[in-house]
Amino acid sequence: MVEILTSQVVSGLATGCVYALIALGFVLIFKATDVVNFAQGEFVMVSGFISYTLLVWFGLPYWIVLFATIALSGLMGVGLERLVVRPIMDAPIFSIVIATIGASTVLRSFAGIIYGYDVLPLPTIFSKDPIHLGVLSFTAMDAGVIGFSLAIMLALYLFFKLTKTGMAMRATAQSQTAARLMGVSVTRIFSLTWAISAAVGGVAGVLIAPIIYLDPNLGFIGVKAFAGAILGGFGSIPGAIVGGMLLGVLENLSGYFFNAGIKQVSTYILLILVLVVRPSGLFGAAPVRKV
């Protein structure tokens, strides 16, 4: 019984890590540009298909595919920023958000046209056979997903904390005007933010596609991750990570203790409960009222 419970928690953490990565993508763009990018889920889906193409159509080895997909996803992020967001930079935020929704539909349709709407299995090097460590039970796949996600999050943390570019991004997120005055190229930072967000989405795609099969509607996972980001406090990076992971574990546990119906709504029930008690999310900063 305990073993089954731990395996549920661990696999919940694995899905949670993927939600966390996608949530991170949302928050990064939001912090830097105030835009909510509703095409984030589709970034995940497209990167899943990119890795499928490289693995299956071109037969490249797994590790090359992994890094190539991340790089290509980053490029896709920059592309979207230049094509869709930059031209309407001065429009109200809401218009830009609608444009990202439009982009998500376009990406989904292109995927459908190129690959069809049937569901595709994506091979992975991580095996799904069970491993037992005392009372813990999990699969190499779970461990791989959690491990790799944590590595990426650590890399991002170090990037923001220690590198000059990372610092420039944090400065731009705090105040665009001040950053500009300090000699930061704000437009370049925006492109970089979109690139990183999309690349992080790319990692999420490569990690989750072998677990849940690939199809053009995979992007709807973005909705769950978005809820995770709100849960943790939209605008807080640690919040996005904690929110996402919490969501993953909660889903599995509610499915285990209750049933499939409760599992589906558990995300939103938790969200409502948290927001009622703490309206700015778990880690979000309460808005300061300047009188």
Partner 1 sequence: MNRLLGSFGVLSALVGLLVLGGSVPARGEDGVTDKEVVLGAGLDLTGAVANWGVNIKGGMEAVFNRVNEAGGVHGRKIRLIAYDHVYQPPKAVTNAKRLVERDKVFAMMGHLGTPTTKAVKDYLEEKQVPNIFPATLASLWTTSGKWHIGDLATYVDQTWLMIDYLVKDRKIRKIASFYQDDEYGLDGHLGGKARLKHHDLTYVAEVDYKRADIDFSSQAAKLKESGAQAVILQAVYREPPRLAEQCHAIGYHPLFIGPSPIVLDKTIELGGKHVEGVIGVEVYPLPTEPGPFLDLYRADMKKYFPNLALDTTNLYGYQKAALFVEALQRNGRNLTRDSLLKSIESIKDWDPGWGLKYSYGGDSRRGMSRSARLVVVKDGKWTKLSDWMELQEGGRK
144 versus 255: smaller Cβ distance to partner 1:
255
Closest of 217, 230, 274 to residue 26, by C-alpha: 230
- Residue 155 and residue 161: Cα distance in Å, rounded? 10
Among the listed residues 204, 209, 235, the one whose alpha carbon sits nearest the alpha carbon of residue 16: 204
Of positions 61, 87, 102, 121, contacts partner 1 by CB under 8 A: 121
* Closer of 53 and 217 to partner 1 (Cβ): 217
Name the one range near partner 1 by CB under 8 A: 38-46, 90-98, 209-217, 282-290.
209-217
Q: List the x/- string, 2-41, binding to partner 1 by CB under 8 A.
A: -xx--xx--xx--x--------------------------
From 57, 129, 135, 291, residue interacting with partner 1 (rule: CB under 8 A): 129
Selection from 256, 262, 156 nearest residue 200 by Cα = 156
Give me the least distance between CB of 21 and partner 1, in Å please: 17
Q: Which is nearer to partner 1, 158 or 262 (CB)?
A: 262
Task: Tell the residue number behind the tokens 């763009």, with chain if given.
Answer: 29
The size of the interface with partner 1 (CB under 8 A), counted in residues, is 34
175: left (phi over 0), alpha (psi -120 to 50) or beta: beta
Q: Burial letters for 183-217: b for 16+ Cβ neighbours within 10 Å, e otherwise?
A: ebeeeebbbbbbbbbbbbbbbbbbbbbbbeebbbe
The structure tokens listed for 263 are 């599992």
Rounded distance, CA 169 to CA 180, Å?
11
Q: Quick one: which of 33, 73, 139, 149 contacts partner 1 (CB under 8 A)? A: 139
| Residues paired with 120 in a beta bridge | 214
Give the residue with the Cβ less far from partner 1, 127 or 185: 127
Structure tokens at 198: 């999309």
**How far apart, in Å, do the first and last CA atoms of the chain sit?**
56
- State how far the Cα of 25 lies from the Cα of 281, in Å rounded to an integer: 17
Please report, as residue ranges, which positions from 223 to 262 form the binding site for partner 1 (by CB under 8 A). Answer: 251-256, 259-261
Q: Which of 102, 151, 264, 269 binds partner 1 (CB under 8 A)?
A: 264
Least distance (Å) between residue 137 CB and partner 1: 7
Asked whether position 104 contacts partner 1 by CB under 8 A, the answer is no
Q: Is 62 in the site for partner 1 (CB under 8 A)?
A: no
What does the binding site for partner 1 look like in residue numbers (CB under 8 A)? 1, 3-4, 7-8, 11-12, 15, 112, 117-119, 121, 128-130, 137, 139, 141, 212-213, 216-217, 251-256, 259-261, 263-264
